[in-house]
Amino acid sequence: MKTKTTYLKKQLFILFLLGIISFSMQVKALTYNVTVPVGTEHCYIAGSFNDWSVSANPMTKVDDTHYTVEIANAVTTDEYEYLNGPAWAYEQANASGTATSQSGWNANDVVVNWKFFYTTTPTIQVKVPTYISSCYIVTSLDSWSFKSESECAMTLISSDESGKVFTITLTGISDPTALRYRFSASPNWNNEQKDPATEFAWAYGTVNTVNTFVGIISGINDNKLESIKIRSINQAIVLDNINSTVEVFDVTGNCIDKQINVNNFTTKRLKSGVYIVRTKGYTQKVMVK
């Protein structure tokens, strides 16, 4: 009888230990570590352990490309995703931008891309022709109204024969996915971008390109037109044996005459002043007296 009682006690003790072990396994926290793309400013984790909340578990930044978090109620079979912002627009993605997820816990995860980079301070860059001296920005978040000149002016960061690059960092942007913007060569709509005519949407690391602006034409290359004789006769501009399209602009950038594929070109009688002739890809100033 004593042996039977001892046996039962041992069995109960074993069951008790198994219960403790099982309970411990259930409440033991899991630590999630992830390597993220350069430029990531925040990282969140959402999964079955937090009802897929995109903001319940912000992760701790280890360095520029590593984040970590400990979740008490997580188990290794939980599915989850990483995000770099507090919305599903910022979820993890593969190299081509398609959303991905994690099927189970790993000691060290790697996110190669985000569907969209989250930031409250997006940096915007634009490449413009070399003859543009200043560049300004206007955004949809300001109801397409230009701020003061100092607030919308962009900073020149590089210049070479292919063009100039201007940059600006905006602040207080709560939703970069909604950010749309346009550029101008002046702090108003007078010299807004012409090509392309459409607005831009922000994307991390992108350099936008504007080819032309309203009212602004290309710079002067007097030495390029030495083989073409341009004359001012009786207050008209005359070109002979051109065999090309010729455009004439006033100093405000308005095209006042254009003839396509002509051999000889003559404008109507013009007012005295400076004009700019463009043909065969080059431009030249002409004085009409």
Mind listing the pLDDT tens digit for each residue in 44-83? 999 999 999 999 999 999 999 999 999 998 999 999 999 9
- How many CA atoms, within 13 angstroms, populate the side-chain half-sphere of residue 261? 0
With contact defined as beta carbons under 8 Å apart, do 211 and 127 qualify?
no
Q: Which residues contact 198 (CB under 8 A, 6 or more apart)?
A: none
Matching residue, tokens 């989250």: 118
**Both structure tokens of 60:** 């701790």
CA dihedral 185, 186, 191, 195 (to 10 degrees): 30
Task: Look over the chain and give the mean of its residue pLDDT values, rounded to a whole number.
Answer: 88
Q: Which domains are delineated in the chain?
A: 2-114 (2.60.40), 123-213 (2.60.40), 222-288 (2.60.40.3080)
Mind listing the pLDDT tens digit for each residue in 171-218? 999 999 999 999 999 999 989 999 999 999 999 999 999 999 987 765
Sheet holding 244-249, edge to edge: 255-262, 244-249, 273-279, 282-288
pLDDT(25) > 50 = no
The reported pLDDT for the residue numbered 222 is 43
Sheet holding 66-71, edge to edge: 60-63, 66-71, 30-35, 109-110
pLDDT(26) > 80 = no
The residues with which 61 forms a beta bridge, in sequence order, are 67
The model's pTM is 0.65
